[in-house]
Structure 1
């Protein structure tokens, strides 16, 4: 399981060593294809749903409905608020994840139930 937004502010220590602080990945400009990236993130397969909202850890004062939920494309996982951090703060994503998104032409791959079940099982064990 690869975590696209594995930042110390967003994931519990039980998920392993984070990439660092989300603050370290804020860039000064949007991706040229940001709209497609955000579309892909919003289309993820739901692995773990959380009702409620999460506050922007970068201090904008905004909240994101379902931000603590977890999604996947069958290989990578991310929180439900990752699209917000990409769109609002232009947070840099891992190169391999961006290549995957672009390789699928921003369209979420078809659900592979067995892969998603294994990832969901791993997530539940760490929560």
Structure 2
């Protein structure tokens, strides 16, 4: 089921290399985090996210649209998918409850996030799967099928490794975003200088 360790280490080293290139002190710590996560979970790829549609809280323009995803999941798989999603390990909890984006109905799910150790999703995703048949990434559906629709139960060590990798990948994304913003600012400044000449 897991891929060769070298591909995982390459992914991790790429993230660590990125961190060292932009002058942060996290490169070695990043390598250790990835090695720990790989050792405990056997993961050979970065963590994946599902169900963070752009219209929902904290969704970004890069995420898929819940409107376009509606009705795309096969009716025959909806119950199995929802059961898998519902049994994922809760790894983040926030106060409040979530509401139905389409109807405004309140209290459809607690404000939690769940994971199977590779993918993570919002606690309201099973609701949207059952009620609206929202599409999920094919790679995620394939993983569920391969696991016979049974979400893995993570040990405390695996959950800690997951959280470490999630934190590390979040740091990398934030640093990349800041770097891209700085590059865009420099580009705009250069364009203004050229325009003045």
TM-score range, shorter chain: 0.7 to 0.9
Runs of 4 or more, structure 1, over 6 Å off, are 123-126
Q: Which structure shows the higher helix fraction?
A: 2
Structure 1 residue 8: deviation in Å? 0.6
Cα 1:60–1:88, aligned 2, differ >3 Å: closer, same or farther?
farther
Give the SS at the match of 1:61: coil
Higher mean alpha-carbon deviation, 32-41 vs 112-121, is at 112-121
Cα RMSD (Å) of the superposition? Answer: 2.6
Q: Is the 8 A contact 2:89 2:115 kept in 1?
A: yes
Give the SS at the match of 2:108: strand
Q: Is the 8 A contact 2:54 2:61 kept in 1?
A: no
Query: Which has the bigger relative contact order, CA under 8 A and spacing at least 6?
Result: 1
TM-score, normalised via structure 2 length: 0.54
Aligned to 1:117: 163
Q: If you compute each CA radius of gyration, which structure gives the higher value, 1 or 2?
A: 2
Matched, 1:88 2:134: no
Aligned to 2:75: 31
Structure 2: runs of 5 or more not aligned: 1-46, 174-197
Counting matched residue pairs gives 123
TM-score, normalised via structure 1 length: 0.81
